[in-house]
Structure 1
Protein backbone atom coordinates (compact mmCIF):
# COMPACT_ATOMS: atom_id res chain seq x y z
CA UNK A 1 0.00 0.00 0.00
CA UNK A 2 1.37 3.37 -0.99
CA UNK A 3 2.07 5.75 1.89
CA UNK A 4 0.45 9.14 1.70
CA UNK A 5 2.74 11.96 2.65
CA UNK A 6 0.90 15.09 3.79
CA UNK A 7 2.05 18.40 2.48
CA UNK A 8 2.00 21.63 4.48
CA UNK A 9 2.23 25.06 2.93
CA UNK A 10 2.64 28.54 4.32
CA UNK A 11 0.86 30.77 1.85
CA UNK A 12 1.78 34.41 1.35
CA UNK A 13 -0.41 36.84 3.34
CA UNK A 14 1.32 40.05 2.32
CA UNK A 15 3.77 41.26 -0.26
CA UNK A 16 7.22 39.84 0.28
CA UNK A 17 6.07 36.67 2.11
CA UNK A 18 7.88 33.39 1.36
CA UNK A 19 6.23 30.18 0.19
CA UNK A 20 7.27 26.93 1.93
CA UNK A 21 6.37 23.32 1.13
CA UNK A 22 7.55 20.33 3.16
CA UNK A 23 6.54 16.83 4.25
CA UNK A 24 5.42 15.75 7.71
CA UNK A 25 8.86 14.23 8.25
CA UNK A 26 10.55 17.53 7.55
CA UNK A 27 7.96 19.41 9.63
CA UNK A 28 8.83 17.32 12.69
CA UNK A 29 12.41 18.57 12.53
CA UNK A 30 11.57 22.15 11.62
CA UNK A 31 13.29 24.81 13.73
CA UNK A 32 10.59 27.48 14.11
CA UNK A 33 13.09 29.98 15.48
CA UNK A 34 14.42 30.37 11.96
CA UNK A 35 11.04 31.77 10.90
CA UNK A 36 10.37 34.09 13.84
CA UNK A 37 9.14 37.60 13.05
CA UNK A 38 10.52 39.08 16.27
CA UNK A 39 12.70 42.16 15.77
CA UNK A 40 11.43 42.50 12.21
CA UNK A 41 9.68 45.54 10.77
CA UNK A 42 6.37 44.23 9.49
CA UNK A 43 4.34 45.86 6.76
CA UNK A 44 0.65 45.11 7.45
CA UNK A 45 -1.90 45.39 4.69
CA UNK A 46 -4.66 46.25 7.23
CA UNK A 47 -4.17 49.52 9.17
CA UNK A 48 -4.46 49.69 12.96
CA UNK A 49 -7.66 51.66 13.57
CA UNK A 50 -7.81 51.39 17.36
CA UNK A 51 -7.05 55.07 17.89
CA UNK A 52 -9.82 56.04 15.50
CA UNK A 53 -12.47 53.91 17.19
CA UNK A 54 -14.18 55.67 20.12
CA UNK A 55 -17.08 53.52 21.33
CA UNK A 56 -19.89 55.39 23.04
CA UNK A 57 -20.00 52.87 25.87
CA UNK A 58 -17.08 51.29 27.68
CA UNK A 59 -18.32 47.95 29.00
CA UNK A 60 -16.23 45.85 31.36
CA UNK A 61 -18.45 42.80 31.00
CA UNK A 62 -21.35 41.49 28.98
CA UNK A 63 -24.70 42.66 30.35
CA UNK A 64 -28.12 41.14 29.72
CA UNK A 65 -30.46 43.08 27.45
CA UNK A 66 -32.73 45.00 29.80
CA UNK A 67 -34.83 46.76 27.19
CA UNK A 68 -37.16 49.57 28.20
CA UNK A 69 -38.08 48.20 31.63
CA UNK A 70 -37.61 50.01 34.94
CA UNK A 71 -34.40 48.04 35.46
CA UNK A 72 -33.22 49.08 32.01
CA UNK A 73 -34.04 52.69 32.89
CA UNK A 74 -32.14 52.80 36.17
CA UNK A 75 -29.15 50.89 34.79
CA UNK A 76 -28.89 53.19 31.77
CA UNK A 77 -29.09 56.23 34.05
CA UNK A 78 -26.52 54.74 36.43
CA UNK A 79 -24.13 54.07 33.57
CA UNK A 80 -24.36 57.71 32.51
CA UNK A 81 -23.90 58.94 36.08
CA UNK A 82 -21.02 56.76 37.25
CA UNK A 83 -20.39 53.92 34.84
CA UNK A 84 -22.49 51.82 37.25
CA UNK A 85 -19.87 52.03 40.02
CA UNK A 86 -21.26 51.94 43.57
CA UNK A 87 -17.96 53.27 44.98
CA UNK A 88 -17.69 56.42 42.87
CA UNK A 89 -17.41 59.88 44.46
CA UNK A 90 -16.96 62.68 41.94
CA UNK A 91 -15.08 65.94 42.36
CA UNK A 92 -18.23 67.70 43.54
CA UNK A 93 -18.92 65.17 46.27
CA UNK A 94 -21.76 63.29 44.58
CA UNK A 95 -21.95 59.73 45.80
CA UNK A 96 -22.31 56.23 44.47
CA UNK A 97 -23.79 54.53 41.47
CA UNK A 98 -26.47 57.19 40.94
CA UNK A 99 -24.38 60.17 42.10
CA UNK A 100 -26.56 61.40 44.96
CA UNK A 101 -25.95 64.66 46.76
CA UNK A 102 -26.05 64.57 50.55
CA UNK A 103 -29.09 66.84 50.60
CA UNK A 104 -31.11 64.51 48.40
CA UNK A 105 -30.12 61.53 50.54
CA UNK A 106 -31.46 63.30 53.62
CA UNK A 107 -34.78 63.83 51.84
CA UNK A 108 -35.19 60.05 51.55
CA UNK A 109 -34.02 59.40 55.11
CA UNK A 110 -30.33 58.58 54.67
CA UNK A 111 -27.85 60.48 56.83
CA UNK A 112 -24.96 58.03 57.11
CA UNK A 113 -23.03 58.40 53.86
CA UNK A 114 -20.41 55.81 54.88
CA UNK A 115 -23.07 53.12 55.23
CA UNK A 116 -24.63 54.36 52.00
CA UNK A 117 -21.38 53.97 50.07
CA UNK A 118 -20.80 50.50 51.49
CA UNK A 119 -24.25 49.13 50.64
CA UNK A 120 -25.31 48.59 47.01
CA UNK A 121 -28.76 47.54 48.25
CA UNK A 122 -29.15 50.83 50.14
CA UNK A 123 -28.16 52.78 47.04
CA UNK A 124 -30.77 50.95 44.98
CA UNK A 125 -33.41 51.66 47.62
CA UNK A 126 -32.43 55.34 47.65
CA UNK A 127 -32.82 55.56 43.90
CA UNK A 128 -36.31 54.09 44.00
CA UNK A 129 -37.41 56.30 46.93
CA UNK A 130 -36.12 59.42 45.20
CA UNK A 131 -37.83 58.49 41.93
CA UNK A 132 -41.06 57.81 43.81
CA UNK A 133 -40.87 61.17 45.57
CA UNK A 134 -40.09 63.00 42.32
CA UNK A 135 -42.97 61.25 40.57
CA UNK A 136 -45.37 62.49 43.26
CA UNK A 137 -44.09 66.07 42.97
CA UNK A 138 -44.31 66.01 39.17
CA UNK A 139 -47.49 63.96 38.72
CA UNK A 140 -49.52 66.87 37.33
CA UNK A 141 -46.76 67.81 34.93
CA UNK A 142 -46.47 64.19 33.81
CA UNK A 143 -50.18 64.16 32.94
CA UNK A 144 -49.99 67.52 31.21
CA UNK A 145 -46.79 67.25 29.19
CA UNK A 146 -46.20 63.59 28.32
CA UNK A 147 -46.55 63.28 24.56
CA UNK A 148 -45.82 66.95 23.96
CA UNK A 149 -42.74 68.17 22.12
CA UNK A 150 -40.40 70.63 23.83
CA UNK A 151 -37.22 71.87 22.17
CA UNK A 152 -37.45 69.10 19.61
CA UNK A 153 -37.74 66.30 22.16
CA UNK A 154 -40.86 64.28 22.92
CA UNK A 155 -41.66 64.40 26.62
CA UNK A 156 -42.04 61.00 28.30
CA UNK A 157 -42.53 59.98 31.90
CA UNK A 158 -39.12 58.32 32.11
CA UNK A 159 -37.50 61.39 30.57
CA UNK A 160 -39.12 63.56 33.24
CA UNK A 161 -37.93 61.30 36.06
CA UNK A 162 -34.41 61.17 34.64
CA UNK A 163 -34.33 64.96 34.35
CA UNK A 164 -35.58 65.25 37.94
CA UNK A 165 -32.72 63.00 39.05
CA UNK A 166 -30.31 65.34 37.28
CA UNK A 167 -31.75 68.73 38.16
CA UNK A 168 -34.33 68.20 40.90
CA UNK A 169 -38.11 68.24 40.43
CA UNK A 170 -38.36 72.02 40.87
CA UNK A 171 -36.10 72.72 37.91
CA UNK A 172 -38.00 70.22 35.78
CA UNK A 173 -41.29 71.96 36.62
CA UNK A 174 -39.84 75.29 35.50
CA UNK A 175 -38.51 73.76 32.31
CA UNK A 176 -41.80 72.11 31.38
CA UNK A 177 -44.08 74.97 32.35
CA UNK A 178 -41.97 77.47 30.44
CA UNK A 179 -41.95 75.11 27.44
CA UNK A 180 -38.20 74.83 27.64
CA UNK A 181 -37.41 78.52 28.06
CA UNK A 182 -36.11 78.12 31.62
CA UNK A 183 -33.26 75.73 31.05
CA UNK A 184 -30.91 74.04 33.50
CA UNK A 185 -27.44 72.54 33.21
CA UNK A 186 -25.31 70.87 35.87
CA UNK A 187 -21.64 71.50 36.64
CA UNK A 188 -20.64 69.35 33.66
CA UNK A 189 -22.96 71.21 31.28
CA UNK A 190 -25.54 68.42 31.06
CA UNK A 191 -29.04 69.77 30.41
CA UNK A 192 -32.60 68.73 31.17
CA UNK A 193 -33.16 68.43 27.43
CA UNK A 194 -30.26 65.96 27.18
CA UNK A 195 -31.74 63.69 29.85
CA UNK A 196 -35.27 64.03 28.47
CA UNK A 197 -34.00 62.75 25.13
CA UNK A 198 -31.50 60.15 26.31
CA UNK A 199 -33.78 58.44 28.82
CA UNK A 200 -37.13 58.84 27.11
CA UNK A 201 -39.47 55.95 26.35
CA UNK A 202 -38.78 53.62 29.28
CA UNK A 203 -41.62 51.95 31.18
CA UNK A 204 -41.39 53.38 34.70
CA UNK A 205 -44.87 52.36 35.84
CA UNK A 206 -43.11 50.23 38.45
CA UNK A 207 -42.31 53.47 40.33
CA UNK A 208 -45.27 54.43 42.51
CA UNK A 209 -46.05 58.00 43.49
CA UNK A 210 -45.37 58.66 47.16
CA UNK A 211 -45.32 62.07 48.80
CA UNK A 212 -42.84 61.35 51.57
CA UNK A 213 -40.99 58.40 50.11
CA UNK A 214 -38.21 57.33 52.42
CA UNK A 215 -35.91 54.34 52.70
CA UNK A 216 -36.78 51.86 55.45
CA UNK A 217 -33.40 51.71 57.15
CA UNK A 218 -34.48 48.83 59.39
CA UNK A 219 -34.02 46.55 56.37
CA UNK A 220 -30.36 47.50 56.16
CA UNK A 221 -29.28 47.19 59.80
CA UNK A 222 -27.35 44.12 60.84
Structure 2
Protein backbone atom coordinates (compact mmCIF):
# COMPACT_ATOMS: atom_id res chain seq x y z
CA UNK A 1 0.00 0.00 0.00
CA UNK A 2 2.82 2.39 0.90
CA UNK A 3 4.76 1.43 -2.24
CA UNK A 4 1.79 2.22 -4.44
CA UNK A 5 1.34 5.60 -2.77
CA UNK A 6 5.00 6.48 -3.32
CA UNK A 7 4.74 5.59 -7.00
CA UNK A 8 1.62 7.69 -7.33
CA UNK A 9 3.47 10.76 -6.02
CA UNK A 10 6.97 10.23 -7.50
CA UNK A 11 5.91 9.71 -11.11
CA UNK A 12 3.86 12.93 -11.43
CA UNK A 13 6.63 14.85 -9.64
CA UNK A 14 9.26 13.54 -12.08
CA UNK A 15 7.13 14.54 -15.05
CA UNK A 16 6.56 18.03 -13.65
CA UNK A 17 10.29 18.46 -12.93
CA UNK A 18 11.23 17.47 -16.50
CA UNK A 19 8.73 19.92 -17.95
CA UNK A 20 9.97 22.70 -15.66
CA UNK A 21 13.60 22.18 -16.71
CA UNK A 22 12.63 22.24 -20.38
CA UNK A 23 10.52 25.40 -20.05
CA UNK A 24 12.98 27.28 -17.84
CA UNK A 25 16.51 26.24 -18.88
CA UNK A 26 18.14 29.26 -17.23
CA UNK A 27 16.32 28.97 -13.92
CA UNK A 28 18.11 28.83 -10.59
CA UNK A 29 16.87 25.26 -10.27
CA UNK A 30 18.91 24.25 -13.32
CA UNK A 31 21.91 26.24 -12.10
CA UNK A 32 21.88 24.37 -8.81
CA UNK A 33 21.36 20.96 -10.42
CA UNK A 34 24.16 21.42 -12.95
CA UNK A 35 26.59 23.36 -10.76
CA UNK A 36 30.16 22.00 -10.60
CA UNK A 37 30.81 23.54 -7.19
CA UNK A 38 32.56 21.06 -4.95
CA UNK A 39 33.33 18.58 -7.74
CA UNK A 40 36.89 17.38 -8.40
CA UNK A 41 37.55 18.28 -12.03
CA UNK A 42 41.31 17.77 -11.96
CA UNK A 43 41.69 14.53 -13.89
CA UNK A 44 43.39 13.22 -17.02
CA UNK A 45 41.89 11.27 -19.87
CA UNK A 46 43.81 8.27 -21.13
CA UNK A 47 45.51 9.03 -24.43
CA UNK A 48 43.77 6.17 -26.23
CA UNK A 49 40.41 7.74 -25.38
CA UNK A 50 41.36 11.32 -26.16
CA UNK A 51 41.92 11.25 -29.92
CA UNK A 52 40.04 9.36 -32.61
CA UNK A 53 41.27 9.07 -36.18
CA UNK A 54 39.36 9.75 -39.40
CA UNK A 55 37.24 6.65 -38.88
CA UNK A 56 35.75 5.29 -35.69
CA UNK A 57 37.93 2.18 -35.78
CA UNK A 58 41.16 4.15 -35.92
CA UNK A 59 42.57 5.22 -32.56
CA UNK A 60 45.50 7.62 -32.56
CA UNK A 61 48.54 6.37 -30.68
CA UNK A 62 50.52 9.59 -31.12
CA UNK A 63 48.32 11.97 -29.13
CA UNK A 64 50.04 13.97 -26.43
CA UNK A 65 48.74 17.01 -24.54
CA UNK A 66 52.30 18.39 -24.42
CA UNK A 67 54.23 19.85 -27.34
CA UNK A 68 57.48 19.39 -25.45
CA UNK A 69 60.66 20.23 -27.34
CA UNK A 70 59.14 19.71 -30.78
CA UNK A 71 59.19 22.41 -33.43
CA UNK A 72 55.52 23.13 -32.69
CA UNK A 73 56.51 23.51 -29.07
CA UNK A 74 59.21 25.98 -30.09
CA UNK A 75 56.81 28.04 -32.21
CA UNK A 76 54.08 28.18 -29.61
CA UNK A 77 56.45 28.91 -26.71
CA UNK A 78 58.02 31.79 -28.63
CA UNK A 79 54.59 33.08 -29.70
CA UNK A 80 53.38 33.02 -26.10
CA UNK A 81 56.41 35.03 -25.00
CA UNK A 82 55.91 37.54 -27.80
CA UNK A 83 52.13 38.06 -27.73
CA UNK A 84 50.51 35.33 -25.64
CA UNK A 85 49.69 33.75 -28.99
CA UNK A 86 47.42 36.57 -30.20
CA UNK A 87 47.37 36.89 -33.99
CA UNK A 88 45.60 40.25 -33.91
CA UNK A 89 47.61 42.26 -31.41
CA UNK A 90 49.85 45.27 -31.99
CA UNK A 91 52.23 46.31 -29.21
CA UNK A 92 53.14 49.83 -28.12
CA UNK A 93 56.07 49.92 -30.55
CA UNK A 94 53.99 48.85 -33.54
CA UNK A 95 55.10 45.22 -33.72
CA UNK A 96 52.44 43.01 -35.23
CA UNK A 97 50.69 39.73 -34.64
CA UNK A 98 51.36 36.45 -32.94
CA UNK A 99 55.14 36.62 -33.45
CA UNK A 100 55.45 40.42 -33.19
CA UNK A 101 56.97 41.29 -36.56
CA UNK A 102 58.23 44.74 -37.45
CA UNK A 103 57.24 46.32 -40.76
CA UNK A 104 60.82 46.32 -42.09
CA UNK A 105 61.29 42.62 -41.42
CA UNK A 106 58.00 41.90 -43.17
CA UNK A 107 59.25 43.73 -46.27
CA UNK A 108 62.25 41.38 -46.39
CA UNK A 109 59.76 38.51 -46.43
CA UNK A 110 57.74 40.02 -49.28
CA UNK A 111 54.91 41.42 -47.14
CA UNK A 112 54.05 45.09 -47.65
CA UNK A 113 50.47 45.31 -46.43
CA UNK A 114 50.57 45.22 -42.63
CA UNK A 115 46.78 45.29 -42.27
CA UNK A 116 46.46 42.23 -44.47
CA UNK A 117 49.23 40.55 -42.50
CA UNK A 118 47.62 41.29 -39.14
CA UNK A 119 44.32 39.77 -40.23
CA UNK A 120 45.74 36.64 -41.83
CA UNK A 121 46.94 33.95 -39.38
CA UNK A 122 48.09 31.69 -42.22
CA UNK A 123 50.33 34.44 -43.57
CA UNK A 124 51.74 35.04 -40.10
CA UNK A 125 52.70 31.38 -39.78
CA UNK A 126 54.35 31.47 -43.22
CA UNK A 127 56.23 34.62 -42.22
CA UNK A 128 57.57 32.93 -39.09
CA UNK A 129 58.94 29.99 -41.08
CA UNK A 130 60.42 32.24 -43.78
CA UNK A 131 62.08 34.52 -41.24
CA UNK A 132 63.55 31.57 -39.33
CA UNK A 133 64.88 30.15 -42.61
CA UNK A 134 66.58 33.45 -43.48
CA UNK A 135 68.06 33.76 -39.99
CA UNK A 136 69.31 30.18 -40.08
CA UNK A 137 71.10 30.90 -43.36
CA UNK A 138 72.74 34.05 -41.98
CA UNK A 139 73.78 32.25 -38.78
CA UNK A 140 74.64 28.86 -40.27
CA UNK A 141 78.38 29.15 -39.51
CA UNK A 142 77.75 30.42 -35.98
CA UNK A 143 75.30 27.58 -35.30
CA UNK A 144 77.96 25.08 -36.37
CA UNK A 145 80.64 26.80 -34.31
CA UNK A 146 78.79 27.46 -31.05
CA UNK A 147 76.07 24.79 -30.82
CA UNK A 148 76.68 22.75 -27.65
CA UNK A 149 79.01 25.27 -26.04
CA UNK A 150 78.36 27.42 -22.98
CA UNK A 151 78.44 31.20 -22.94
CA UNK A 152 77.91 32.94 -19.62
CA UNK A 153 76.55 29.73 -18.13
CA UNK A 154 73.98 29.27 -20.92
CA UNK A 155 74.03 26.21 -23.19
CA UNK A 156 73.97 27.45 -26.77
CA UNK A 157 71.65 25.53 -29.08
CA UNK A 158 70.28 26.09 -32.56
CA UNK A 159 66.77 26.82 -31.26
CA UNK A 160 68.11 29.35 -28.77
CA UNK A 161 70.06 31.08 -31.53
CA UNK A 162 66.99 31.23 -33.80
CA UNK A 163 64.81 32.55 -30.99
CA UNK A 164 67.33 35.25 -30.16
CA UNK A 165 67.56 36.16 -33.86
CA UNK A 166 63.78 36.53 -33.91
CA UNK A 167 64.06 38.93 -30.99
CA UNK A 168 67.02 41.03 -32.09
CA UNK A 169 68.03 40.06 -35.62
CA UNK A 170 70.80 37.72 -36.78
CA UNK A 171 73.48 40.43 -36.78
CA UNK A 172 72.95 41.10 -33.09
CA UNK A 173 73.13 37.39 -32.33
CA UNK A 174 76.45 37.16 -34.18
CA UNK A 175 77.80 39.92 -31.94
CA UNK A 176 76.60 38.12 -28.82
CA UNK A 177 78.18 34.82 -29.82
CA UNK A 178 81.45 36.20 -31.13
CA UNK A 179 81.93 38.40 -28.07
CA UNK A 180 81.18 35.38 -25.86
CA UNK A 181 78.29 37.21 -24.24
CA UNK A 182 79.89 40.59 -23.68
CA UNK A 183 77.49 42.15 -26.20
CA UNK A 184 74.10 41.28 -24.73
CA UNK A 185 71.41 43.31 -26.50
CA UNK A 186 68.24 44.22 -24.59
CA UNK A 187 65.01 45.29 -26.30
CA UNK A 188 62.66 48.07 -25.16
CA UNK A 189 60.87 45.69 -22.80
CA UNK A 190 64.03 44.35 -21.17
CA UNK A 191 64.33 41.01 -22.99
CA UNK A 192 67.94 40.12 -23.74
CA UNK A 193 69.63 37.89 -26.28
CA UNK A 194 71.06 35.79 -23.45
CA UNK A 195 67.61 35.33 -21.90
CA UNK A 196 66.17 34.08 -25.20
CA UNK A 197 69.16 31.78 -25.69
CA UNK A 198 68.40 30.18 -22.35
CA UNK A 199 64.61 30.21 -22.43
CA UNK A 200 64.33 28.60 -25.87
CA UNK A 201 67.23 26.20 -25.60
CA UNK A 202 67.01 22.60 -26.77
CA UNK A 203 64.01 22.60 -29.11
CA UNK A 204 64.06 20.60 -32.34
CA UNK A 205 64.33 23.17 -35.14
CA UNK A 206 65.79 20.81 -37.74
CA UNK A 207 62.67 21.30 -39.86
CA UNK A 208 63.88 24.84 -40.64
CA UNK A 209 66.08 24.85 -43.73
CA UNK A 210 68.56 27.69 -44.34
CA UNK A 211 67.28 29.88 -47.16
CA UNK A 212 68.81 33.25 -47.95
CA UNK A 213 65.83 34.39 -50.02
CA UNK A 214 62.89 32.84 -48.15
CA UNK A 215 59.57 34.61 -48.63
CA UNK A 216 56.16 34.24 -47.02
CA UNK A 217 53.90 32.96 -49.79
CA UNK A 218 50.36 31.61 -49.50
TM-score by length of 2: 0.70
Moved over 2 A (4+): none
Distance 1:138 1:91 in 2: 29
Distance 2:181 2:78 in 1: 22
Distance 2:112 2:139 in 1: 25
Q: Report deviation, 1:182.
A: 1.1
Distance 1:152 1:102 in 2: 34
- The within-5 A match list for 1:196-207 is 196-207=197-208
Q: Tell me what 2:211 maps to.
A: 210
Gap runs ≥5 in structure 1:
1-62
Q: Report deviation, 1:215.
A: 1.3
What are the Cα deviations for residues 106-146 of structure 1, in whole angstroms up to 9, with x where unaligned? 11110011110110000000000000000000000000000
Q: Tell me what 1:122 maps to.
A: 123
Q: Tell me what 1:107 maps to.
A: 108
User: In the alignment, is residue 146 of structure 1 matched against residue 147 of structure 2?
Assistant: yes
Q: Report deviation, 1:64.
A: 3.3
Q: Tell me what 2:53 maps to.
A: none
- The within-5 A match list for 1:15-164 is 64-164=65-165
**SS of aligned partner of 1:190:** coil
Distance 2:121 2:163 in 1: 20
Distance 1:107 1:129 in 2: 10
Distance 1:199 1:132 in 2: 17
Instruction: Please report the RMSD computed on the Cα atoms of aligned residues, expressed in angstroms.
Output: 1.7
What are the Cα deviations for residues 157-208 of structure 1, in whole angstroms up to 9, with x where unaligned? 0000000000000000000001011110000111001000000000000001
Distance 1:122 1:153 in 2: 33
User: In the alignment, is residue 186 of structure 1 matched against residue 187 of structure 2?
Assistant: yes
